[in-house]
Amino acid sequence: MASALAASLTQLRGVERQLLEGVVEPDVVRDTKIVSGRRRLREVPVKHHGVDAVKWAYEYAWRARMAWLKGDRGSAAKLLGRALHYVQDYCVGRGLLIDRHEQLEELSAEDEPLIEDSAHLVHEASRRPIEDPYLLEDYIASLKPQKKDHRAMLREAAIATGVVGSTVLNVAPCPEAFLEQARSRFKLRLAGLAVAAAAALVFAAVHPLLIFASPALGYVVDWPYRRSLTRLRWYGIKLGFFEKPSKSGLMARPSARAS
């Protein structure tokens, strides 16, 4: 599927090897996380199914996007490959007594029409990138692991590969709606922070300890604007704390550097 994605997206020309390396790497260089045990913290491997897969797929998709915007195409391709590994694993339902990955490979290895159909699905899905990073996260979480039909497994994984890959490497400019939303929320943010500052003075007059409630109020007031800033960052637009969004978007086109 990664090969089909590389064939579908011109952005991956010259970095196909890094993409394929990234796809297989999580099985070789396992990601780990820290969990709390009864007596101590433990480092355990990240599971490639369930909520772990969703979280790590989006994490790698975000990191791939940031590398892509910086012009580091090689790193972006490898990170995208790792994201796709988790996405594809998540689409394969877990089996208690059988290895569904091995079963899937055996069933599809000699089924050329199925392989061709999967490549076609990747290509078609790659033409429909998601504009909003929050919707990308929701999309990954909405994927449904398939447990019985190997054709359904491949179909789900193929479509997800095309969607996630094209979204991460999307070269379209930032939608004007995102910029307009950020400008609108920027004004509300300034007003909200002013209210939070005034509330801090009132709280302090009532009881000194109540002043600690004002940062929480400021955090809540600032939350919508921070979401807008995340959308702008997805398109390479970074703003200072009091910097107002401009009236034009940026084109997400990296330099030709590959590594």
Q: Within 10 Å of residue 176's Cβ, how many Cβ atoms?
A: 11
Residue 169's pLDDT is 96
How many Å separate Cα 225 from the centre of its chain?
20
> Is 95's pLDDT higher than 80?
no
Rounded to 5 degrees, φ, ψ at 92 are: -95, 115
Using CA atoms, how far apart are residues 65 and 11, in angstroms rounded to an integer? 12
> Is 256's pLDDT higher than 60?
no
Question: For the chain, what percent of residues have pLDDT higher than 90?
Answer: 41
Q: Are residues 19 and 96 in the same domain?
A: yes
Site of tokens 């990138």: 129
Mean predicted lDDT score pLDDT of the chain: 80
Q: pLDDT digits over 227-252, tens only?
A: 998 999 999 988 765 566 665 444 44
Question: For the chain, what percent of residues have pLDDT higher than 70?
Answer: 70
| More confident: 210 or 11 | 11
Q: Are residues 247 and 137 in the same domain?
A: no
Task: Point out the least confidently predicted range of 94-103, 172-181, 184-193.
Answer: 94-103
Q: Is 108 helix (H, G, I), strand (E, B) or coil?
A: helix
> Is 60's pLDDT higher than 80?
yes
Using CA atoms, how far apart are residues 145 and 216, in angstroms rounded to an integer? 39
Q: Are residues 194 and 116 in the same domain?
A: no
The count of domains in the chain is 2
Q: Are residues 164 and 182 in the same domain?
A: no
In which band, very low, low, confident or very high, does the pLDDT at 152 lie, cut at 50, 70 and 90? Answer: confident
Q: What angle do CA 59, 93, 50 make, to 5 degrees?
A: 35
The boundaries of the domain holding residue 8 are 2-168
Q: Are residues 89 and 25 in the same domain?
A: yes
